[in-house]
Structure 1
Amino acid sequence: MKVALYARYSSDNQRDASIEDQLRLCRDYAARQEWMVVDSYSDRAVSGASLLRPGIQELMQDAQRGKFSIILAEAMDRLSRDQEDIAGLFKRMKFAGVRIITLSEGDVTQLHIGLKGTMNALFLQDLADKTRRGLRGRVEAGKSGGGLCYGYDVVRRLDGNGETVCGERTINDGEAAVVRRIFREYANGKAPRAIALDLNAEGISGPLGGAWGPSTIHGNRERGTGILNNELYIGRLIWNRLRYLKDPDTGKRISRLNPESEWVAKDVPETRIVEQALWEAVKARQATTTWSQKTRGRGIHPLNRLQRPRHLFSAMTRCGCCGGGFSMISQNHLGCSAARNKGTCQNRLTIRRDVLEKSVLNGLRTHLMDPALFKEFCDEFTREVNRVRMERGAGLAAMRAELPRVDRELDKAIQAILDGVPGVTLKDKIGRLEARKEELTALLAEAPEPPPLLHPNMAVIYRERIEALYDNLQNEGNRTEAIERLRALISHIKLIPQDGELAIFLEGDLAAILMFSSNKKNAASHPDRGVLQSFVEQDSLVAGAGFEPAAFRL
């Protein structure tokens, strides 16, 4: 039996050796069962509340490729603490013919998924409630509820019992001077963008050592973010203004504004940096320039009422020098945002939006799928798929050969009972054989038929579909859908200065292009998505270069 090991620990406070401890226990168990360990996977200092972890993702991909037939972990909560995620993992592994076994629960079944999944979810909720309770108690005592904002240092000391005191802050004189400067300059009429440019030009580091940006300074008044809205600078600590929810699709934390009645406020005069008169002057200027949902009726920003044109490749264009975004700096021109808002990039060249769109569309239509290079890719892809299928086929062949052996063993056991052997002595053996026969029958019944490979003329098909999509782009009724399909085909658009102008480098999304050419909506629906994923990780489809990883100019 081929087995893969998985280990995880969730907190930076835990030991990295925890991974090796878990793997050692799993190896010992596998050795006792005479299983062959083919690989091990791990995630260090990563929460089990999400499956968006590199180790578990690699484990799932290798399971789909038939690399092993058993996943062995210390406990179910190492794999996931989320009910939906652990149920989905169990379902996918069952479909792939992979068993999940843990040292704590044994052979994981649907009963374990229901009970232990619920217990793990309750553990996370209980942990969150206790953490919030502790933070609130710290805030009520006038201490920080977490995080370190610009202008302060963490106080590290021990109490009388030798335990670390948490939540105490002291003013950082150098950063406090920068905070007062920002308040003064803004109150005197200077724009946040101009303030950020000056601070970066003088080499003054921003929060967390990064560069200053306009949003770092002006933030959001209602959410209390940004230098100009931090009430700690006037000696007032606000806690629970925001709550954070994890997006189930992306795993990212999303902030939500709590009702003001749920905020916890505490006066901490020892943290004051900005005088009250200066604070009020800043608030007075903000009132004349900042839009507020509370004061503008239905909460629709005035600019959003305008019917602004939807640009074809908005938010997809990057600066090749700093990696920052290219944004509209005038009605028709795009420029590097970092160069203009922060002054941290030297790329001051611009490009007309219509020129960029025409060039990229031309690259999609004429350069992105070279027929000769695509044929070479198809040949290589076919060879890899056949290799993976042979490995899977070997497993199926072994199961087909094992099934009649199990039948023969059952017949022998039944014959032994007929010959006079007491049934009690053969009861356990017959039970194991019947369970194995049922498992083999189910696995063979669910084994998918070999799907078709890529069509060798897919490059030609791609060209035809792109032309049709380009025609739809000219039709106002079909324009929105055409834009979405075109954007899905592109991974990156980089603009790099060369000889006094911006060169355009277009890189396509290989999986999306193959699905588009196959007239499928989702790359995950491809029957050989595991092999396809490995190709996507290794190769990029680039305008002018077929499937080479390097980028070429349009």
Structure 2
Amino acid sequence: MRTGEGEGGSGMTRVALYARYSSDNQRDASIEDQLRLCRAHAERQGWTIADSYSDRAVSGASLLRPGVQELIADGLKRRFDLILTESLDRLSRDQEDIAGLYKRMRFAGVRIVTLAEGDVSELHIGLKGTMGALYLKDLADKTRRGLRGRVEEGKAGGGLCYGYDVVRQLAPDGAPARGDRAVNEAEANVVRRIFRDYAAGKSSRTIAWELNRDKVPGPFGREWGPSTIHGNPKRGTGILNNELYIGKLVWNRLRYVKDPSTGKRVSRLNPPSEWVTQEVPELRIVDQALWETVKQRQQAMAIGPAGETDDNPMLDRRRPSHLFAGLVKCGCCGGGYAKISKDLLGCATARNKGTCDNRLNIRRDALEASVLNGLRTHLMEPELFREFCEEFTREVNRLRMDRRAELVSQRKELERIERDLDRAVQAILDGVPGSHLKAKIEALEARKAELTAGLAEANEPPPLLHPNLAEVFRQQIVALHEKLQAEETKAEAAAIVRGLVDRITLVPENGALSIVLRGDLAAMLSFAAHSKKPSLLGDGLVQGSLVAGTGFEPVTFRL
């Protein structure tokens, strides 16, 4: 979170303040305390505060925090000269993150100063980064030790699961007692209903559909889905696999590690020898006979060992089952269109949850044929594709030339401003009072900063398109269509077509499904379907959506 605090004047050190408190210290006043100390230090040093940034109730184990991300972005744009914070671990406790932040800020010419360490150097990064990492590991070990002790006393070691309420009471020493749970009878009846229905032969999809039909709220008030019910037997997830329902508390079945690329926690299955199991008969909801009946049916229906296939790394590398798999969405609820038979696609939300009224289905081959026919019809007719390519080449080249001219103009203006600033400085040296030139110098400096930032972020437009693009384009479209028909090259061609499509929305209209295409292919079809007259470039594609260097921005096109 950023709060503006003023702009630095010419020649003054501009400082950005940063404050953070973690989720283990839930106190908003902590942010203001940190910022107050930093402001006082900046005033003593004669620094001008350019901005302040903060993150509230966020762990320092990752840089994926809005406040610090905004701080980094502004630092790279050189909107300040120095970052001031209470201590280095306020910025991050992760060794890799703090080293990367320091490296990027040093590249941008931005210093890092803390109240605890002073002017931060490579030595601080190495030592404090290691100390921060050790602190996080020690904190995690202590937390796990405390949770284990709580579980061994028969209390919950994690979050609240469906069917139970938190019991809020005080321990003998007056402190809040944590981990106590009590059965929620209304939710417990729903759990028993799910177990009985599954044991009676109903699928998890049917059970979810019926619960939603009866307006039964699911966990956290959400709708019921099949996966919420059947879960993963091996990992103990899902209503049907929660052993707490038979009075058995299992802790440490899973561990969670943070993906360094995304900052999201990912679960990993611990070996059974590390699990902690405690009997809690007072929390039993399902009787043993019903539980065993459900387990027998799960085993009988499993293709292999229960849950084993979920850990197969090859699943992430599977090719799409059909040309537009995963791209087809329902125009009513936004959910996906999935296979409901070998060749038929239907709204998955309507089928699995019953909360969507769109019951219209479409044959997969008919959908693919409609999209590919649009490609062939609009882009392979000799006269039409020549007209399309000529207009496409002309428009893209115009935008690229305009962009190049704009960059040249900005560079010349920047050179002129630098010369004017040099003359103003020389005038002051020659005896002209600085007060007479102050306003002009400030205006020139502001415009210089604006131009410098804009040019630093600007990319040079790519070369102009060749006038003979039409023939090249025709050859590529013909080759793409032929590859889609040949079995040995179908996968390669399909990948190209999928790369041009962002989304296919099926919208019910008068008892039939209308296909709305979104993506680069939609942009090309839309462009090709209209006249070259500029006044007709507005239906689904405006001239502003043509971007020099990238071609078309994704737009929609109705087939």
TM-score, normalised to structure 1, is 0.73
1:233 to 222, 245, 266: 245
SS in 2 for 1:315: coil
Distance 1:219 1:386, change over 3 A: farther
1:552 matched to 2:556: yes
Aligned twin of 2:261: 249
Aligned twin of 1:131: 143
Distance 1:481 1:390, change over 3 A: farther
The 5 Å alignment of 1:378-397 reads: none
Letter in 1 for 2:170: L
2:87 to 68, 75, 84: 75
* Cα contact 1:219–1:225 (8 A) shared by 2: yes
Letter in 2 for 1:346: D
Distance 1:157 1:350, change over 3 A: same
Distance 1:26 1:481, change over 3 A: farther
* Cα contact 2:323–2:494 (8 A) shared by 1: yes
Distance 1:506 1:240, change over 3 A: same
* Cα contact 2:55–2:65 (8 A) shared by 1: yes
Q: Distance in 2 between matches of 1:78 and 1:121?
A: 13
1:10 to 1, 22, 43: 22
SS in 2 for 1:331: coil
Q: Aligned pair count?
A: 476
1:88 matched to 2:100: yes
* Cα contact 1:10–1:48 (8 A) shared by 2: yes
1:149 to 155, 161, 166: 161
1:311 to 322, 326, 331: 322
Letter in 1 for 2:327: M
Aligned twin of 1:518: none
Aligned twin of 2:61: 49
Q: Distance in 2 between matches of 1:25 and 1:263?
A: 46
1:339 matched to 2:350: yes
1:172 to 184, 207, 223: 184
* Cα contact 1:143–1:167 (8 A) shared by 2: yes
SS in 2 for 1:189: coil
Letter in 1 for 2:344: H
Distance 1:309 1:131, change over 3 A: closer
Distance 1:335 1:298, change over 3 A: closer
Q: Distance in 2 between matches of 1:16 and 1:93?
A: 28
Letter in 2 for 1:225: T
* Cα contact 1:82–1:121 (8 A) shared by 2: yes
Aligned twin of 2:152: 140
* Cα contact 1:377–1:547 (8 A) shared by 2: no
* Cα contact 2:518–2:557 (8 A) shared by 1: no
Letter in 1 for 2:91: L
Q: Distance in 1 between matches of 2:218 and 2:467?
A: 49
Q: Distance in 1 between matches of 2:458 and 2:275?
A: 59
1:329 matched to 2:333: no
Aligned twin of 1:349: 360
1:453 matched to 2:499: no
SS in 2 for 1:330: coil
SS in 1 for 2:16: strand
The 5 Å alignment of 1:178-257 reads: 178-257=190-269
Q: Distance in 2 between matches of 1:270 and 1:259?
A: 27
SS in 1 for 2:556: coil
Alpha-carbon displacement from aligned partner over 1:437-483 (angstroms, at most 9, x marks no partner):
xxxxxxxxxx9998633446499989959849946953666665665
Distance 1:86 1:230, change over 3 A: same
The structural deviation recorded for 1:270 is 0.2
Distance 1:309 1:29, change over 3 A: closer
1:271 to 271, 283, 288: 283
SS in 1 for 2:194: helix
Q: Distance in 2 between matches of 1:393 and 1:51?
A: 38
Q: Distance in 2 between matches of 1:223 and 1:173?
A: 26
Distance 1:552 1:471, change over 3 A: closer
* Cα contact 2:232–2:307 (8 A) shared by 1: no
The structural deviation recorded for 1:16 is 2.4
Distance 1:491 1:46, change over 3 A: farther
Q: Distance in 2 between matches of 1:316 and 1:46?
A: 35
Of the structure 1 ranges 484-493 and 337-346, higher mean CA displacement relative to structure 2 is found in 484-493
Q: Distance in 2 between matches of 1:472 and 1:73?
A: 62
The structural deviation recorded for 1:67 is 2.5
Q: Distance in 1 between matches of 2:467 and 2:78?
A: 30
Of the structure 1 ranges 182-191 and 67-76, higher mean CA displacement relative to structure 2 is found in 67-76
Letter in 2 for 1:122: L
The structural deviation recorded for 1:7 is 2.3
Of the structure 1 ranges 136-145 and 352-361, higher mean CA displacement relative to structure 2 is found in 352-361
Letter in 2 for 1:333: L
Distance 1:335 1:7, change over 3 A: farther
Alpha-carbon displacement from aligned partner over 1:241-286 (angstroms, at most 9, x marks no partner):
1111111111111111111111111110000111111111111111
Percent identical pairs in the alignment equals: 56
The structural deviation recorded for 1:543 is 6.3
Unaligned runs of 5+ in 2: 1-12, 380-387, 423-454, 524-538, 546-552
Of the structure 1 ranges 204-213 and 30-39, higher mean CA displacement relative to structure 2 is found in 30-39
Query: What do you get for the CA RMSD once the two structures are aligned?
Result: 4.3
Q: Distance in 2 between matches of 1:376 and 1:459?
A: 13
The structural deviation recorded for 1:98 is 2.2
Q: Distance in 2 between matches of 1:391 and 1:101?
A: 35
* Cα contact 1:543–1:552 (8 A) shared by 2: yes
Letter in 1 for 2:137: Q
Alpha-carbon displacement from aligned partner over 1:284-316 (angstroms, at most 9, x marks no partner):
111110234479899879x97xx9864344333
The structural deviation recorded for 1:58 is 2.4
SS in 2 for 1:63: helix
* Cα contact 2:350–2:358 (8 A) shared by 1: yes
Q: Distance in 2 between matches of 1:6 and 1:469?
A: 56
Q: Distance in 2 between matches of 1:169 and 1:45?
A: 26
* Cα contact 1:197–1:212 (8 A) shared by 2: yes
Aligned twin of 1:289: 301
Distance 1:311 1:115, change over 3 A: farther
1:497 to 508, 530, 535: 508
Unaligned runs of 5+ in 1: 402-446, 514-541
Distance 1:229 1:471, change over 3 A: same
Distance 1:15 1:387, change over 3 A: farther
Aligned twin of 1:419: none
Q: Distance in 2 between matches of 1:505 and 1:112?
A: 56
The structural deviation recorded for 1:203 is 0.4
SS in 2 for 1:181: helix
Alpha-carbon displacement from aligned partner over 1:223-254 (angstroms, at most 9, x marks no partner):
11111111111111111111111111111111
SS in 2 for 1:327: strand
Distance 1:232 1:296, change over 3 A: closer
Q: Distance in 2 between matches of 1:508 and 1:272?
A: 52
* Cα contact 2:112–2:120 (8 A) shared by 1: yes
* Cα contact 1:505–1:551 (8 A) shared by 2: no
The structural deviation recorded for 1:321 is 3.1
Q: Distance in 2 between matches of 1:485 and 1:326?
A: 21
Q: Distance in 1 between matches of 2:149 and 2:77?
A: 51
